[in-house]
């Protein structure tokens, strides 16, 4: 790439076919927001929708809203919308609980459906909650299973006839490295293993086709690229061929075939409905629906194209402006192996990120030394990529990061 500057990035924005979508989000003036992979931005439609739900539905129609305003259908209705983003069909996805909890449900299903095998295979660098949930489930099942962890590149070669399930996050939260979803699924199934994908950093950012890949299970997050708001509920997908073969263990009343029969014994709902546990978080579901609606009209290929170009522009700008200042690229350079983020390592990563945030450039830090920048293609501009790279270079050149307040650790990184 020839020399970049801010004017060239502004020209990329002027040509960007998705540029107008930024208008659908509230973003504070003067802030460069590159953390939509941790908490997506606020859609302008969300506050009105939440206010209407609170004032008119809850305030006036009270409990009758479960029927009158379809609250009871929300886990499936929003699930059907998310299904369109991940290559799943209608009636195959529900929104419920958190990603961690949904992972527990489908992992339990996978182990039960592959009873002769005792190994859960995953990646050492997987997001820790996924590994922790597997460890908890193994304990509950009497320590008869093992969690085997290998490096990301070694996954396909590590699948064998003992592997019950391969449990992977499609896009790695630290490095942004992306697995080949179809190829790994095929490798798992060729050995008789089941394939479980965590799409936390994929849904809403990179094209996913679970159906074409023939995967078995998937979970994903509502508050990252789906823009569902802090603590938004998560989604869970089970291939239709498995849905009725297993009754997930969190057998709450709203996953019952007839919750309002109030029978003393559990009988699972047909299909994906059994993956709901308790009462849906209606306010949060409404916010998630408003976020997902922003994505439905956008061609996944156009989103991907923009996200890749944003990442590429940022990497090139950082390497041009901050050469020799102690940064090294952690993310794969090749676009086809990278999700919608770019990460760099720096020995002083924590104070450097705090100094960036103090200037209004919001990315985040992941231990031990990673500066992470997410590129949500719905609302991030090419000038944002430029401004973030320029600010990073200046902070490193001037040593502006080395102030006591930037060294102080905060509870959430």
C-beta of 98 vs 135, nearer to ligand PLP: 98
| Selected range binding ligand PLP among 1-9, 55-63, 127-135, 291-299, rule: CB under 6 A | 127-135
Interacting positions 231-290 with ligand PLP (CB under 6 A): 234
The Cα 323–Cα 13 span in angstroms is 25
Q: Which of 221, 226, 238, 371 binds ligand PLP (CB under 6 A)?
A: 221
Q: Which of 46, 169, 248, 341 binds ligand PLP (CB under 6 A)?
A: 169
Nearest CA to 175 out of 104, 123, 222 is that of 123
Q: Least CB distance from residue 339 to ligand PLP, whole Å?
A: 11
Q: Least CB distance from residue 57 to ligand PLP, whole Å?
A: 26
Q: Least CB distance from residue 127 to ligand PLP, whole Å?
A: 3
C-beta of 410 vs 412, nearer to ligand PLP: 412
Please report whether residue 99 would count as binding ligand PLP according to CB under 6 A: yes
| Selected range binding ligand PLP among 58-66, 122-130, 280-288, 373-381, rule: CB under 6 A | 122-130
| Selected range binding ligand PLP among 23-31, 125-133, 314-322, 347-355, rule: CB under 6 A | 125-133
Please report whether residue 130 would count as binding ligand PLP according to CB under 6 A: yes
Please report whether residue 100 would count as binding ligand PLP according to CB under 6 A: yes
Please report whether residue 364 would count as binding ligand PLP according to CB under 6 A: no
Place of tokens 């156009």: 302
The Cα 95–Cα 76 span in angstroms is 7
Please report whether residue 123 would count as binding ligand PLP according to CB under 6 A: no
Q: Least CB distance from residue 308 to ligand PLP, whole Å?
A: 20
Active site amino acids: 127, 198, 223-224, 372
C-beta of 220 vs 351, nearer to ligand PLP: 220
C-beta of 219 vs 395, nearer to ligand PLP: 219
Nearest CA to 238 out of 311, 294, 165 is that of 165
Q: Which of 25, 104, 173, 246 binds ligand PLP (CB under 6 A)?
A: 173
Please report whether residue 189 would count as binding ligand PLP according to CB under 6 A: no
Please report whether residue 201 would count as binding ligand PLP according to CB under 6 A: yes
Total residues contacting ligand PLP (rule CB under 6 A)? 13
Please report whether residue 135 would count as binding ligand PLP according to CB under 6 A: no
Q: Which of 31, 61, 114, 129 binds ligand PLP (CB under 6 A)?
A: 129
Please report whether residue 198 would count as binding ligand PLP according to CB under 6 A: yes
Q: Least CB distance from residue 185 to ligand PLP, whole Å?
A: 17
The full 3-state SS of the chain, as one line of letters, equals CCCCCHHHHHHHHHHCCCHHHHHHEECCCCCEECCCCCCCCEECHHHHHHHHHHHHHHHHHHHHHHHHCCHHHHHHHHHHHHHCCCCCCCCCEEEECCHHHHHHHHHHHHHHHCCCCCEEEEECCCCHHHHHHHHHHHHHCCCCCEEEEECHHHHHHHCCCCEEEEEEECECCCCCEECCHHHHHHHHHHCCCEEEEECCCCCCCCCCCHHHHCCCEEEECCCCCCCCCCCCCEEEEECHHHHCCCCCCCCCHHHECCHHHCCCCCCECCHHHHHCCCCCCHHHHHHHHHHHHHHHCCCHHHHHHHHHHHHHHHHHHHHHHCCCCCCEECCCCCHHHECCEEEEECCCHHHHHHHHHHCCEECEEECCCEEEEECCCCCCCHHHHHHHHHHHHHHHHHCCCCCHHHHCCCCCC
* CA 97 centroid distance within chain: 14
Please report whether residue 127 would count as binding ligand PLP according to CB under 6 A: yes
Which residue ranges make up the site for ligand PLP (CB under 6 A)? 98-100, 127, 129-130, 169, 173, 198, 200-201, 221, 234
């Amino acid at each position: 790439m020839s020399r970049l500057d801010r004017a060239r990035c502004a020209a990329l924005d002027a040509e960007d076919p998705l540029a107008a979508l930024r208008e659908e989000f509230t973003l504070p003036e003067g802030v460069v927001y590159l953390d939509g992979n941790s908490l997506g931005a606020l859609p302008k439609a969300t506050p009105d929708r939440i206010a209407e739900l609170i004032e008119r539905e809850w305030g006036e129609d009270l409990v009758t809203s479960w029927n009158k305003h379809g609250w009871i259908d929300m886990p499936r209705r929003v699930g059907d919308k998310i299904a369109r983003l991940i290559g799943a069909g209608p009636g195959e996805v529900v929104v419920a609980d958190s990603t961690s909890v949904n992972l527990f449900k489908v992992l339990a299903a996978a182990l039960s459906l592959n009873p002769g095998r005792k190994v859960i295979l995953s990646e050492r660098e997987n997001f820790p909650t996924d590994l922790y949930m597997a460890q908890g489930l193994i304990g509950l099942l009497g320590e008869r299973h093992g969690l085997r962890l290998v490096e990301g590149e070694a996954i396909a070669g590590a699948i064998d006839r003992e592997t019950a399930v391969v449990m992977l996050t499609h896009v790695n939260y630290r490095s942004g490295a992306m697995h080949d979803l179809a190829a790994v699924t095929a490798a798992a199934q060729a050995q008789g293993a089941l394939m479980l994908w965590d799409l936390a950093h994929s849904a809403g950012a990179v094209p996913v086709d679970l159906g074409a890949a023939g995967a078995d299970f998937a979970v994903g997050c509502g508050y990252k690229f789906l823009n569902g708001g802090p603590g938004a509920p998560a989604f869970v997908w089970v291939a239709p061929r498995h849905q009725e073969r297993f009754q997930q263990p969190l057998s709450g009343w709203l996953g019952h075939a007839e919750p309002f029969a109030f029978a003393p014994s559990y009988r699972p709902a047909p299909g994906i409905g059994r993956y709901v546990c308790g009462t849906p978080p209606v306010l949060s579901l409404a916010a998630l629906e408003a976020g997902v609606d922003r994505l439905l009209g956008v061609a996944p290929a156009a989103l991907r194209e923009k996200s890749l170009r944003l990442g590429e522009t940022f990497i090139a700008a950082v390497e041009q402006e901050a050469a020799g200042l102690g940064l090294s690229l952690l993310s794969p350079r090749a676009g086809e192996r990278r999700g919608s983020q770019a990460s760099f390592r720096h020995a002083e990563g924590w104070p450097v990120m705090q100094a960036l945030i103090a200037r209004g450039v919001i990315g985040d830090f992941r231990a031990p030394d990673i500066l992470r920048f997410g590129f949500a293609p719905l609302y991030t501009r090419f000038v944002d990529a430029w401004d973030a790279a320029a600010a990073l270079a200046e902070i490193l050149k001037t040593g502006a990061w080395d102030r006591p307040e930037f060294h102080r650790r905060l509870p959430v990184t």
